[in-house]
Amino acid sequence: MKWDEFFVTGDPMIYGADVSIVLTMVGILFYLTKYKKWKWLWDEWLTTVDHKKLGIMYIVSAVLMLFRGGVDALLMRTQLAVPEAKFLDSQHYNEIFTTHGTIMIIFMAMPFLIGLINVVVPLQIGARDVAYPYLNAVSFWTFFIGAMLFNISFVIGGSPSAGWTSYMPLASNELSPGPGQNYYLLGLQIAGIGTLLTGINFLVTILKMRAPGMTLFRMPMFTWSSLVTMVIIIFAFPILTVALALMTFDRLFGSHFFTLQGAGMDMLWANLFWLWGHPEVYIVILPAFGMFSEIISTFSRKTLFGYKAMIWSMLLIAGYSFLVWVHHFFTMGSGALVNSVFSITTMAIGIPTGVKIFNWLFTMYRGKIQFTTPMLWSLGFIVNFVIGGVTGVMLAMAAADYQYHNTYFLVSHFHYVLIAGTVFACFAGLIYWYPKMFGYKLNERIGKWVFWVFTIGFNVCFFPQYFLGLDGMPRRVYTYSEESGWGPLNMVSTIGGFMMGIAFLILVYNMYYSFRYAKRETTGDAWDGRTLEWSTPTAMPPFYNFAKIPEVTGLDHFWRQKQAGKVEKLKAEDIKPIHMPSNSGVPFIMASFFFVAGFGMVFEWMWMAIFGIIGVFGTLFYRSFEYDDGYYVSVEEVIETEKISK
Amino acid sequence: MRRLKPFFTFGLLMAVFMLSGCSDMIVLDPKGPVGAEQRDLIMYSIWFMLFILLVVYALTAFIVYKYRDRKNHKGYDPDNEGSHLLETIWWIIPIIIVIALSIPTVKSIYSLEGPPEESKDQKPLVIHATSVNWKWVFSYPEQDIETVNYLHIPEDRPVLFKLTSADSMASFWVPQLGGQKYAMAGMETELYLQADEQGTYEGRNSNFTGEGFTNHTFDVMAMSDAEFEKWASETKADAPELSKGQYDKLMLPGHVKQMTFSSTHLDWVDHAKNPEYALDARERLGYEEKLPHSKAGKEEKKKREEEMKKLEESESHGDSHAH
């Protein structure tokens, strides 16, 4: 392999990226060394098994990925702002929309939600950590390494350019040679391991680690939505793992599962991809639904309306999510019966979703609505998500879909559900639980600016795209002619895109501003909350979460206690030694070996891949013989941490 | 709520402004019965959707305004946790809406599988459409002629497209005539379309197929039956024959202008039965896909473009009949 094949050359923007990556790395190394932070980094973060810290690392990674995916989006919008623009060439544009889609779904939306689940769910169920803390660290580091592996592609070896769906045979060696597509396969494969482990971990955590008295039907809605999500993950992710592995065999070892030669079946890839891909959509939307349920209930100062209906509708959605995948390719010619069945199942998903919308609305009915920023995002969600929902039903009508398919109508639809659903939830959840993670709130005034600029920008960006779609503009074209008449609406759309970019910058500024100036919380109950995570005496829970595991007597236990004026005070005699898991550097080291193995396979340097895989198994082997049952936190230490006066 | 108002107004204005341009949007301005059926279905569903939006927005506005936290707040009921009656209502209404949408959808799905109702008694014109990165090859087996990147069809007569691909998965789409269908290597899919008005319509591949995807387009010219017959017989008489060598070069990834031949490639290959043909042809020509950002990749692309030019020149004789 020659140097011009290893490094991506010839594009000034890429050189700019090279320089900024090197400078950032040097800056970080300099900072860590100068301020003697290496030990802190290793002890506090790289080896931690604390669900709250892992959650924070998930969220920080997700925000970085949001930045990366957002820059991709703005580059695309710049290219499309005017007809026949020469800002990006076709190949570059293709790489950018491929990485934009993959990063936003796999490395932004999912980790953002999993991060919030990590921070919140154990606290909500009154647990001291997850069921398998060590596994949780493995999950995070494999996700992180997968994301990094995928991200370096644009400077080393070239990015994948076959779309985030990577349809075969376009993604085969014959039509897309080189490391690009391999990055997609290996990056997703490694990150996918982490997601599957998270699924198992949180399923067990929620089923087995709930505080005494918290029956299934007393669980907070966010915990419920997480539970359902984990079930979907456990059923869906193995499909992705297998599909990716088969395509990897095709590309690296000459098998013919999906190729043009050897009777490969490209339609099989599309089916497998969406058999995972559609449940994936619900993996990123159900936790969002859960968060909105919490937030709307908290700031309406009222019990969630139709708690049981909310749960049943979620279970229905989870079941349906596996029965609709064909709607991603109604145009494949599967025949009238197949298309009819999948049209109806897809429309039927709208029923439980509609029920949820009305239940949220009636949670506010007879409430006392406070317009905090998390609540604004939730209201914004209802108003905008409905647009995504109804256009989804329109797309579900197969006969009409033949005209919407592969157009900007579709692009607009899925951005209306994924941004107004998932991204709004990520922002709402981040702001809502920010005091739990960092001990202070984000500034509300700046936060409202973020909300309005983002929401208006979002509509300016995506609403016109419905009309572009109906005017025949296909997705994934890198430019269009003047005569097409698509110019003005594209310009409007680009302006909206940049407004969202500006809102993101204001959000980051708000993090800095609040870090400097925000009033620190003195209690654990920043928003007058309803669920157990707000019941810790300190703003940020100590590493063991609860000095004494609470006993739950009903739904919204903490709220009811407050209403009755019966919040329990912690007494010294209640405290017993607390069993906690030990930190471990092994997950980080194992993930590093995954990186080596993945990088080797991307470039088909088998010696390197084998070395990496041996390393992975070595760390597994080491762990098997490591007899570390954790340690006990002494009563004195707990008393001191909790500042209980004797 | 007062703060939400400009937002709703803005959305409403935008919707009105854009809906007023509806008739200009090509999907809603069909020129044939297939497109018209889809337009009708789309419009039917849009009314339902606007109704749903109206109900949700009105309810949101009312509740958010009435129950905002303020002095003299009335009606606060923190333990109100549900109502069987209300919940039953909003389970049943969506079910009714889904049924109301399903019936015409399923009807349309079935009717679009065959030729349009109004011309059921006519024998459809059969055209094989083959996608190869990034061109469309159209074969008229009855007329024994072949065109590249353009089509002539008679108006008021159903056309049966038999779709396949020599390499990437493509999607055959002429928005003003009707919805799309995939063209896949090793497969044959069928799509009925019909033009009711003479004119030139833009067609394209709408499924991403790599670098040249954006210009993977073709023109459809609908004309009277007599004109079509005249064009077909003149083409048969005057256009050059398609040689295997020329066809091999067509298999290289790239763009060519519109071309016309007096024989079809169906004489020696049907991509629906032989998905490996294009790759074999590339091998015969010594072509191999290279890394796009490498020097070798850039050279390969230049070589490909030169081959395409030569191919266009070799056919120039037939060009005068294309239009």
- A298 located within any domain: yes
Structure-block tokens of residue B261: 């031949």
Residues of A in contact with B16 (CB under 8 A): none
A523/A465 Cα distance (integer angstroms): 46
Separation in Å, CA of B275 to nearest CA in chain A:
6
Residue B318 has what pLDDT? 47
Q: Which residue has the higher pLDDT, A52 or A639?
A: A52
Least confident piece of the model among A267-271, A470-474, B42-46, B288-292: B288-292
Residue from the list B82, B169, B204 with its beta carbon closest to the beta carbon of A474: B204
- Any idea what DSSP says for residue B269? -
User: Which one-letter amino acid corresponds to residue B285?
Assistant: L
Contact A284, A105 (CB under 8 A): yes
Separation in Å, CA of A581 to nearest CA in chain B:
40
Separation in Å, CA of A390 to nearest CA in chain B:
6
A285/A303 Cα distance (integer angstroms): 22
Residue of A nearest to B287 (CA): A174
Residue from the list B21, B64, B181 with its beta carbon closest to the beta carbon of A467: B21
* Beta-carbon separation of A368 and B67 below 8 A: yes
Taking alpha carbons only, the member of A234, A247, A160, A248 closest to residue A196 is A234
Residues 6+ away with beta carbon under 8 Å from A73? A100, A497
* Burial class (CB within 10 angstroms; exposed 0-12, middle 13-18, buried 19+) of A177: middle
A6/A295 Cα distance (integer angstroms): 48
Residue B322 has what pLDDT? 44
- A10 located within any domain: no
* Beta-carbon separation of A386 and B56 below 8 A: yes
Whether the pLDDT of residue A474 is over 70: the answer is: yes
Contact B154, B225 (CB under 8 A): yes
**Tens-digit pLDDT profile for residues A345-403:** 999 999 999 999 999 999 999 999 999 999 999 999 999 999 999 999 999 999 999 99
Taking alpha carbons only, the member of A521, A575, A528, A522 closest to residue A547 is A575
Report residue A266: phi and psi, to 5°.
-65, -30
Q: Cα A500 from chain centroid?
A: 18
Residue of B nearest to A155 (CA): B293
Least confident piece of the model among A9-18, A19-28, A285-294, B144-153: A9-18
Residues of A in contact with B187 (CB under 8 A): 267, 333
Residues of A in contact with B78 (CB under 8 A): 301-303, 367
**Tens-digit pLDDT profile for residues B222-271:** 999 999 999 999 999 999 999 999 999 999 999 999 999 999 999 999 99
* Beta-carbon separation of B53 and A386 below 8 A: yes
Least confident piece of the model among A11-25, A505-519, B82-96, B203-217: A11-25
* Beta-carbon separation of B169 and A364 below 8 A: no
Residue of A nearest to B35 (CA): A403
Q: Is the peptide bond before B134 cis (omega within 30 degrees of 0)?
A: yes
B159/B177 Cα distance (integer angstroms): 11
Sign of the CA dihedral with B205 first, then B209, B214, and B219 last: negative
Structure-block tokens of residue A183: 């990055």
Taking alpha carbons only, the member of A517, A185, A474, A446 closest to residue B213 is A474
Residue from the list B18, B106, B292 with its beta carbon closest to the beta carbon of A340: B106
Separation in Å, CA of B130 to nearest CA in chain A:
15
* Beta-carbon separation of A333 and B38 below 8 A: no
Instruction: State the best of A334, A366, A462, A560 to mutate against chain B, taking most chain B CBs within 10 Å.
Output: A366
Contact A43, A192 (CB under 8 A): no
Report residue B220: phi and psi, to 5°.
-110, 120
**Helices A444-470, A487-517: crossing angle, 10 deg rounding:** 160
Residue at token pair 């009711």: B196
Task: Categorize the per-residue pLDDT at A154 as very low, low, confident or very high, splitting at 50, 70 and 90.
Answer: confident
Residue B319 has what pLDDT? 47
Residue A516 has what pLDDT? 96
Mean pLDDT calculated for residue range A288-302: 96
Whether the pLDDT of residue B1 is over 60: the answer is: no
**Tens-digit pLDDT profile for residues B244-254:** 999 999 999 99
Q: A35-52: buried (b, 16+ CB within 10 Å) or exposed (e) per residue? A: eeeeeeeeeebbbbbbbb
Q: A429-453: buried (b, 16+ CB within 10 Å) or exposed (e) per residue? A: bbbbbbbbbbbbbbbbebbebbbbb
Residue from the list A348, A368, A467 with its beta carbon closest to the beta carbon of B25: A467
Whether the pLDDT of residue A215 is over 70: the answer is: yes
Whether the pLDDT of residue B323 is over 50: the answer is: no
- A78 located within any domain: yes
- A609 located within any domain: no
Structure-block tokens of residue A448: 């409202």
Structure-block tokens of residue A362: 């009636």
* Beta-carbon separation of A331 and B14 below 8 A: no
Structure-block tokens of residue A76: 């695309």
* Beta-carbon separation of B91 and A355 below 8 A: yes
* Beta-carbon separation of B133 and A175 below 8 A: yes
Residue from the list A362, A369, A477 with its beta carbon closest to the beta carbon of B69: A369
What is the pLDDT of chain A when averaged over all its residues? 94
Residues 6+ away with beta carbon under 8 Å from A441? A431, A434, A435, A514, A518, A519, A521, A526
Residue from the list A333, A463, A470 with its beta carbon closest to the beta carbon of B14: A463
Task: Categorize the per-residue pLDDT at B292 as very low, low, confident or very high, splitting at 50, 70 and 90.
Answer: confident
* Beta-carbon separation of A405 and B171 below 8 A: yes
CA distances from A331 to A320, B163, B206 (A): 21, 12, 11
| B65, containing H or E segment | helix B33-66
Residue B317 has what pLDDT? 54
Separation in Å, CA of A290 to nearest CA in chain B:
17
A239/B281 Cα distance (integer angstroms): 35
Q: In chain B, which ranges are E strands?
A: 125-132, 135-140, 145-148, 150-154, 159-165, 170-174, 178-183, 189-193, 199-205, 217-223, 259-261
Q: A11: left (phi > 0), else alpha (psi -120 to 50), else beta?
A: beta
Residue B18 has what pLDDT? 58
**Tens-digit pLDDT profile for residues A608-620:** 999 999 999 999 9
Residue B40 has what pLDDT? 95
Least confident piece of the model among A191-205, A497-511, B78-92: B78-92
Residue B6 has what pLDDT? 54
DSSP of A559-598, one letter per residue?
Answer: HHHHHTT-PPPP-GGG---EEEPPP-SHHHHHHHHHHHHH
- A21 located within any domain: no
Report the C-alpha dihedral over residues A545, A128, A132, A240, rounded to 10 degrees: -60
Residue at token pair 């998930």: A58
A426/A431 Cα distance (integer angstroms): 8
Residue A374 has what pLDDT? 97
Task: Categorize the per-residue pLDDT at B211 as very low, low, confident or very high, splitting at 50, 70 and 90.
Answer: very high
- A164 located within any domain: yes
Residues of B in contact with A478 (CB under 8 A): 214
CA distances from A493 to A98, A407, A456, B208 (A): 20, 15, 11, 22
Whether the pLDDT of residue B21 is over 60: the answer is: no
Please give the span between the terminal C-alpha atoms of chain A, in angstroms, as a whole number.
71
Task: Determine the structural domain holding residue A266 and report its residue range.
Answer: 36-584+628-642
Contact A375, A295 (CB under 8 A): yes
Structure-block tokens of residue A263: 């009777």
In 3-state terms chain A splits into helix, strand, coil percentages (rounded to 5) of 70, 0, 25
B129 bridge partner residues: B138, B163
Report residue B187: phi and psi, to 5°.
-140, 155
Residue A325 has what pLDDT? 95
Residues of B in contact with A459 (CB under 8 A): 10-11, 14
DSSP of B167-180, one letter per residue?
Answer: SS-EEEEETTTEEE
The bridge status of strand B159-165 relative to strand B135-140 is unpaired
- A621 located within any domain: no
Residue B118 has what pLDDT? 87
Contact B28, B176 (CB under 8 A): no
% of chain A surpassing 90 pLDDT? 88
A380/A644 Cα distance (integer angstroms): 43
**Tens-digit pLDDT profile for residues A413-450:** 999 999 999 999 999 999 999 999 999 999 999 999 99
* Beta-carbon separation of B211 and A351 below 8 A: no
B78/A305 Cα distance (integer angstroms): 10
Least confident piece of the model among A124-128, A506-510, B307-311: B307-311
Residues of B in contact with A477 (CB under 8 A): 213-214
**Tens-digit pLDDT profile for residues B123-149:** 999 999 999 999 999 999 999 999 999
Q: Is the peptide bond before A169 cis (omega within 30 degrees of 0)?
A: yes
Residue A390 has what pLDDT? 95
Q: Cα B224 from chain centroid?
A: 24
Please give the span between the terminal C-alpha atoms of chain B, in angstroms, as a whole number.
61
Residue from the list B41, B98, B213 with its beta carbon closest to the beta carbon of A400: B41
Q: Give the pTM.
A: 0.94
Other CB atoms within 10 A of residue A262 CB: 12
Residue B16 has what pLDDT? 59
- Output the domain CATH number for residue A562: 1.20.210.10
Residues of A in contact with B28 (CB under 8 A): 470
Residue of A nearest to B190 (CA): A333
Contact A90, B211 (CB under 8 A): yes
Count of domains observed in chain A: 1
* Beta-carbon separation of A459 and B180 below 8 A: no
* Beta-carbon separation of A472 and B202 below 8 A: yes
DSSP of B202-252, one letter per residue?
Answer: EEEE-S--STTGGG-EEEEEEE-HHHHHHHHHHHHHHSPPPPHHHHHHHTS
Residues of B in contact with A383 (CB under 8 A): 7, 57, 60
- A632 located within any domain: yes
User: Which one-letter amino acid corresponds to residue A69?
Assistant: G
B108/A130 Cα distance (integer angstroms): 51
Separation in Å, CA of A586 to nearest CA in chain B:
37
Residues 6+ away with beta carbon under 8 Å from A358? B59, B86, B87, B90
In 3-state terms chain B splits into helix, strand, coil percentages (rounded to 5) of 45, 20, 35
Task: Categorize the per-residue pLDDT at A227 as very low, low, confident or very high, splitting at 50, 70 and 90.
Answer: very high
Structure-block tokens of residue B307: 């081959």
